[in-house]
Chain A
Amino acid sequence: MSAALLALLAALFGRHRGVDVYAAFVEGAKDGLRTAAQTAPCLCAALLLLAFVRGSGVLEGLEGALRPLFSRLGLEEALLPFLLLRPVSGSASLAALQGLIDRFGPDGAPARMAAALFASSETTLYVASLYLGAAGRKRSRYILPVAFFAWACGAAVTLFALELF
């Protein structure tokens, strides 16, 4: 819906400003193709990491290790796989969210929490590697620790606000 509106507005605006709308669109689409070629290797690396984390059983192990901590904090255990996948892979965490919706219903507490958390953050590792890769930079400096800390605080705020509304 918003995408269709944007396209329509852009076309009208471009026409009004005397832009050759078709030529500009084609030119931009070519840029998009270049962007895709540039992002594909990072995507592949992120998916490889995901394959290793999952296929090796490390994810299950981590879940098992964190479960007691989670129940002590009074958090939903069902949320754990989703939370662990969120920073690594957008598609895998989306699948986990869908799984929670199927299991608890869209208004079940864990599914609602996961939905709100999905909407409040991006795929940390993927975004960092993609953007730094585009700039040709190797060092991520303080980006990852700051991002994870800020994410944890933001997630706490989201969950708290979800209780209120």
Chain B
Amino acid sequence: MGGVFFYAILFCGAVGLFTGRGEALGTAVLACGEEAVRLGLTLCGSYMVFGGILKVLERGGALRLLSGALRRPMRWLLGPEGRDEAVRQSACANLTANLLGLGGAATPAGLAAMRRMAERAPKGRTTRGMCVFVLCNIAVPQLVPATVLSLRAAAGAARPGDIVLPALLGSLTAAALSVWLSRLCERAWPK
């Protein structure tokens, strides 16, 4: 992961300097910090709001109910790590929130699930459960892609929602493929 960032930046930096774009590159690098703060504050707001809502649901036992109902599918998906109650609750909350298009609610729960899996795994190991879970958060089937719908509606699309089904089919394909391929790769790849 770190390697991807390192070599990408090295390559781009070399190309930029070699083609005489050092000045533009410098401006872009300085601007990106500002952008990070702006975006970070927006995200921080939605994490706080949804984190609060999620905690109310958790205290009321809703996540326990949800994870109980999804026990078998989660075990199938995450393998032995899906047996841990805390992992399962956070993972269920994450996947449900993603399905409903509530990205701000999904991230805190998803990171909690990753932390919990990391606590239980041998140090430094990226386990099968983690890989599958990250892949599920990259190929996210969304029933309500809120951002895109509001963008299309604001621009006056005839039927803003007509992209939902194709998008859902695509993301379901990607998710199924990810899970299947991760099973194949799990055997071949070193931990």
* CB neighbours of B1 from chain A (8 A): 128-129, 132, 138-140, 144
CB–CB A132/B126 < 8 A: yes
B188 to chain A, nearest CB (A): 8
CB–CB B140/A141 < 8 A: no
A146 within 8 A of B: yes
Interface centre among B1, B2, B19, B170 (most CB of A within 10 A): B170
The interface stretch among A64-72, A75-83, A149-157 is A149-157
- Chain B contact residues, majority secondary structure: helix
Assess A47 versus B36: contact at CB under 8 Å? Given A14-B57, A154-B171.
yes
A153 to chain B, nearest CB (A): 6
Give A140 to B101 CA distance when docked, in angstroms.
Answer: 26
* CB neighbours of A134 from chain B (8 A): 111, 114-115, 118
Chain A residue with Cβ nearest B182: A146
CB–CB B107/A57 < 8 A: no
B35-48 interface bits toward A, Cβ cutoff 8 Å, 1 = contact, 0 = none: 11001100110011
How many positions in chain A have a CB within 8 Å of any CB in the partner chain?
A: 97
* CB neighbours of B133 from chain A (8 A): 131
B66 within 8 A of A: no
A73 within 8 A of B: no
Assess A40 versus B36: contact at CB under 8 Å? Given A2-B102, A14-B56.
yes
Q: Which of B170-190 contact A (CB under 8 A)?
A: 170-175, 177-178, 181-182, 185-186, 189-190
CB–CB A128/B138 < 8 A: yes
* CB neighbours of A54 from chain B (8 A): 28
* CB neighbours of A157 from chain B (8 A): 166, 169-170, 173
* CB neighbours of B157 from chain A (8 A): 106-107
CB–CB B130/A26 < 8 A: no
Can you spell out 27 A-B residue pairs with CB atoms less than 8 angstroms apart?
A: A7-B53, A14-B60, A16-B60, A25-B52, A29-B48, A32-B50, A32-B52, A32-B108, A36-B48, A51-B32, A58-B16, A106-B156, A106-B158, A107-B157, A115-B163, A119-B148, A121-B139, A129-B1, A129-B5, A131-B110, A131-B134, A135-B126, A137-B125, A137-B126, A143-B131, A158-B166, A158-B171
Residues on A lying within 8 angstroms of B by beta carbon are 2-3, 6-7, 10-11, 13-14, 16-17, 19-21, 24-33, 35-36, 38-40, 43-45, 47-58, 61, 91, 94, 97-98, 101-102, 105-107, 112, 115-122, 124-125, 127-132, 134-144, 146-147, 149-151, 153-159, 161-162, 164-165
